[in-house]
Amino acid sequence: MKFISCIRPVPDPSSRLVINDSKTWIKDQDLSLVASEADNYALEEALRLKEKHGGEVVAISIGRESDAKILRGALATGADRAIHLVDEKFRGGDEFAIAEVLARAIEKDGGADVVLTGVQSDDLGSGATGVMLAEFLGWAHATIVIAAEANPETGILTVKRELEAGMTETLEIPVPAVLTIQYGINQPRYASLKGIMAAKKKDFKVWTAAELGIEQTAAERSTTRIREIQVPERQSKVEMITGTPEEAVVTLVEKLRKDAKVL
């Protein structure tokens, strides 16, 4: 079976984020980027499915040339090959534009049995890219997956989804399919020294917009626009309660009940 793991580069959580001059995103030119956390779980799940059923795992990512290290890391942990989508026309796109690029790349690579993404990215956090990707490909999909089993003979995936209030749902869906993987489904592995050395010899493709047949920029293909990003303002208010201790207690209780509504 062929498994494709989609990986999104996001700013390192320890980075200091600064909004750009146009107030439409952060200044990311000099930031160190890492794989989005949920995508690490998706990659690990792809590797485990491959270990059970054979085949290959392909890691794919959209980013800058300097972000190739993220895909190299995926190769070092066990992915068989990688596809890096690098082009200025890919930058600045919303979930719709990102999903379209990924779908074009997956189709160019000959499709897959299962495509796995994280349930949501650490930066946008909308949880929409995987669903849109399934729509572009015309495949079945399942979201917030906490367990997955494949049956290569029947071409059926049995997946368990996390629902609200602690409930779960078990589904059977046909392959090819797209799964968005929930945090904590597994324990992502670390790259070994042997894996790091082997990664240098693995197939690493770099595709541009022209090679995917994409002419418009990501901004032109996007269906949403970020008008402005703002940092939440810190507001503090202190009110001194005067009077005798007995009067102060009565006033405090009244304010907690009517104003703060915590009693």
Query: 125-175: per-residue pLDDT in tens?
Result: 899 999 999 999 999 999 999 999 999 999 999 999 999 888 999 999 999
Q: Can you give the pLDDT at residue 236?
A: 73
Determine the average pLDDT of the residues in 227-243: 81
Strands 9-11 and 33-35 turn out to be: antiparallel
pLDDT of residue 198: 95
Instruction: Tell how far CA 187 is from the center of its chain.
Output: 17
pLDDT in tens, 82-135: 999 999 999 888 999 999 999 999 999 999 999 999 999 998 889 999 999 999
How many angstroms separate the CA atoms of 57 and 80, rounded?
5
Question: Side-chain half-sphere of 16: how many Cα atoms within 13 Å?
Answer: 0
